[in-house]
Amino acid sequence: MARVFSFSLTLLIFFHCYTAQQFPNECQLDQLNALEPSHVLKSEAGRIEVWDHHAPQLRCSGVSFTRYVIESKGLYLPSFVNTAKLSFVAQGRGLMGKVIPGCAETFQDSSVFQPRQGRQFEGQGEEGQSQKFHDMHQKVEHIRSGDTIATTPGVAQWFYNDGQQPLVIVSVFDLASHQNQLDRNPRPFYLAGNNPQGQVWLHEREQQPQKNIFSGFGPEVIAQALKIDLQTAQQLQNQDDNRGNIVRVQGPFGVIRPPLRGQRPQEEEEERVGNGLEETICSARSVDNLDDPSRADVYKPQLGYISTLNSYDLPILRFIRLSALRGSIRQNAMVLPQWNANANSVLYVTDGEAQVQIVNDNGDRVFDGQVSQGQLIVVPQGFSVVKRATSDQFRWVEFKTNANAQINTLAGRTSVLRGLPLAVITNGFQISHEEAKRVKFNTLETTLTHSSGPASYGRPRVATA
């Protein structure tokens, strides 16, 4: 009996392997869930919350997702990943720096040339002797809630929270893109700091503390390369450091930065040179704010607004092949049902909650429930989705795996029903000409409409759930 069991199980596995092998990117999604982080990496001045990229909906979409919570005075130490990354500042404000290979240190204290002035250079080290020397480094930008930040693979990035409330940043990593030339696992590389818990999201790897890159080289190699003494080289390895990757800055944080204004300074740089990636990428704009209703793409005062950011707005998105959408709707506003034509969409709730229904290719309702602040849900390509705010405000951000993600709506003035001839509607649904006219023309809105309330959406009709 046990033998028979073993044998049949084996056969079952054989079948499983055989079919699984053919379709490595499993998207047979009969049920979706609102996802929360599965791992929390605690640091001295914040935490990194990681969603399990093995979750079927994330695996199908080919992305991983992480939330960074950086406390006041917290510094997220420079790290890089081997994928394209799109981040959204969900809360707070701070500073952000990227180091792009081969680009010049364009932020320079003018007092290097005109000694003894030192404007805009706060906190010049500890000793008087260091006042003779001033810093130069690559661009540092102010970031604030609503900013959407594009980062190319291999580029080191750091964040500093110079506000009072926590700085919360959510990031999507495009594992399935051709820019990731490794496998479909997220891989942060630390330049400084460490992660004593190890890469807990990697099931296959035996967990060991994750150290910074310098830690892997011999100290004398570092000493030779940086022309420093062995002791400092060992210091760079952060061996006895247990602060994690978000550390607390003691005293002032002295970096050269432009004054903070309402107007983003980098918007003046919008004229870019066009001769070769290497030259343009140094000054390429990589941040745009999606929280300014005056720039909304869809705006209805009573209902809310929706802003999109694609490669026409921010050309670097053409390179990283991701785009974003920011939505903010009021109680009982409804986003008309729609599907993503050419992208997967990763939806993260920043405020409030909503009732969401998602329908798959088989016509089954694979999600019917609440999503609320801090939760994530994936809407795969082609799946239809409807959202209805059930709190005073429902605000979310969607990351889409296409530089110019397109949607198709099921209702409204630009919907697929409007594009179909009446004869197709009458014959398709076996309704009268008059009914078809109502179906086609009654809703004049394009995206947002009123809904009658958060009442039950009817009986659940999920297949296997």
Looking at the Cβ atoms of 135 and 374, the one nearer to a second copy is 135
Residue 383, judged by CB atoms within 10 A of its CB (0-12, 13-18, 19+), counts as buried
Closest separation in Å from C-beta 146 to a second copy: 24
Nearer to a second copy, 183 or 270 (CB): 183
CB of 145 to a second copy, least distance (A): 23
The smaller minimum CB distance to a second copy, of residues 145 and 415, is found at: 415
Nearer to a second copy, 263 or 464 (CB): 464
Smallest distance from the beta carbon of 32 to a second copy, in angstroms? 12
Q: Is the Cβ of residue 299 or residue 374 nearer to a second copy in the bound state?
A: 299
User: Minimum Å distance from CB 374 to a second copy?
Assistant: 25
The distance of closest approach from Cβ of residue 234 to a second copy in the complex, given in angstroms and rounded to an integer, is 10
Question: Could you tell me the two tokens for 305?
Answer: 């607004």
User: At closest approach, how far in Å is the CB of 9 from a second copy?
Assistant: 6
Which of 299, 457 has the CB closer to a second copy? 457
Nearer to a second copy, 288 or 445 (CB): 445
Question: Is the CB of 110 or the CB of 374 nearer to a second copy?
Answer: 110
**Shortest distance, position 453 Cβ to a second copy, whole Å:** 10
**Residue 133 C-beta: closest distance to a second copy, Å:** 6
By beta-carbon proximity to a second copy, the closer residue of 9 and 40 is 9
Smallest distance, a second copy to C-beta of residue 105, A: 6
